[in-house]
Structure 1
Amino acid sequence: MEITTWYLEQRSPDELRPARPAPVTVTRAEVVSPELNRFLYTSVGGDWHWIDRLGWTWQQWHDWLSRPGVETWVAYQRGTPAGYVELDAATHAGEVEIAYFGLLPAFVGQGIGGHLLTTGLRRAWELTSERVWVHTCSLDGPAALANYQARGLTLYWTETTDESVPSAAPGPWPGARRQ
């Protein structure tokens, strides 16, 4: 299957175009919790072929999340997790990558994504003064690229590759079916 990957960046916090506030509370998950992050990863990415971390052990999750500069921010709507943004200021000096970002399916289309991304970008700019970047691909949610661009991230690289992709996304857990 042909996959297009778009790389976007901001070089200044002045480039941020905030979204309208949404009826959610966004809170940093300050306690390292592989269980929480795996739940968020599979719940958000299960419909979009997020498979690169599915094979990670508890220890791999723990080691990743324990690194200084890695932060998870969770959006809650009336106490229920609605989505998350994972920031990585540990891998590339002077830069913050939005490593993962998205909403659980029940919360898509309610204006939460723009607000959550705005919150994540503001925090990213507190962690760096040089560059914030993200990549998304044609397997991600259909609103992902537009949301990044609406928040002021600009395209700096596009690549197309042929990859072997399972015919169906894995869902949030094996055998899960949405009605």
Structure 2
Amino acid sequence: MARTKTLKARITHLEMTTPPGKPVSMPLGARLAMMRVNSIPLHFYRYLYEQVGRPHHWALRRDCSDAALAEAVHGSTTEIEVLYVDGAPAGFFELDLSRLAGEVEILYFGLMPDFQGRGLARFFLSGAVAAAWAHDPDKVTIHTNTLDSPRALQLYQKMGFAAVSWSEEEVEPWS
């Protein structure tokens, strides 16, 4: 059996230590809604995770058992919101609240490929940042890597995140 070639990812660790000013306005045109999902059905989470994460080879939750996934996404330290565009799911973000009061991590953030390039990312990220700061942490963190959208790092920095460290990891490609 041939071993799958791994991909090398350079990870940029970013943080925001003060809340931003006013939120980004909702883009005109499409009808948008951001909705928090309490007790997300696992099949829906897997759908969102694959649609958003497959192009970027997200790995953490790719092969989780139902029990492990339920523990992770239904826990009291996890908050998930879904962006809908004209009624269709377009992306999601997931907050990790396990290090409160010191930190809230935006663990996952992204849009499905069909909804990228439509001016939604700044608005949606602004919502994720506001949701994180609503828990009154000392800082909000997020990570991106060279397998993510080439515009992700620039967007995070424009929104007020500052790079604080870098690391590298080997990632199994999504088959």
Q: Match of 2:81?
A: 73
How far apart, in 2, do the equivalents of 1:102 and 1:155 lie?
19
Q: Report how many residues are paired.
A: 166
State TM-score, norm by structure 1. 0.85
Name the aligned partner's letter for residue 11 of structure 2. Answer: T
Match of 1:100 in 2: 108
Identify the residue that residue 157 of structure 1 maps to in structure 2.
165
Runs of 4+ in 1 over 3 A off after TM superposition: 15-20
Aligned mates of 1:94, 1:157 — CA distance in 2: 18
After TM superposition, the structure 1 stretch with the greater mean CA deviation from structure 2, 95-104 or 52-61, is 52-61
Which letter maps to 1:65?
A: V
Q: CA deviation at 1:164?
A: 5.5
The answer to whether structure 1 residue 52 and structure 2 residue 73 are counterparts is no
Amino acid at match of 1:38: R
Aligned-pair identity (%): 32
In the superposition, relative to structure 1, how do residues 125 and 108 fare at CA in structure 2: closer, same or farther (>3 Å)? same
Structure 1 unaligned blocks of 5 or more? 171-179
- Aligned partner of 1:19 in structure 2 is 24
RMSD: 1.8
CA 1:21–1:126 in 2, change beyond 3 Å: closer, same or farther? same
Give secondary structure in 2 for the equivalent of 1:64.
Answer: helix
Helix, strand or coil at the partner of 2:55: coil
* Corresponding residue SS for 1:106: helix
- TM-score between both structures, scaled by the size of structure 2: 0.86
Unaligned runs of 5+ in 2: 1-6
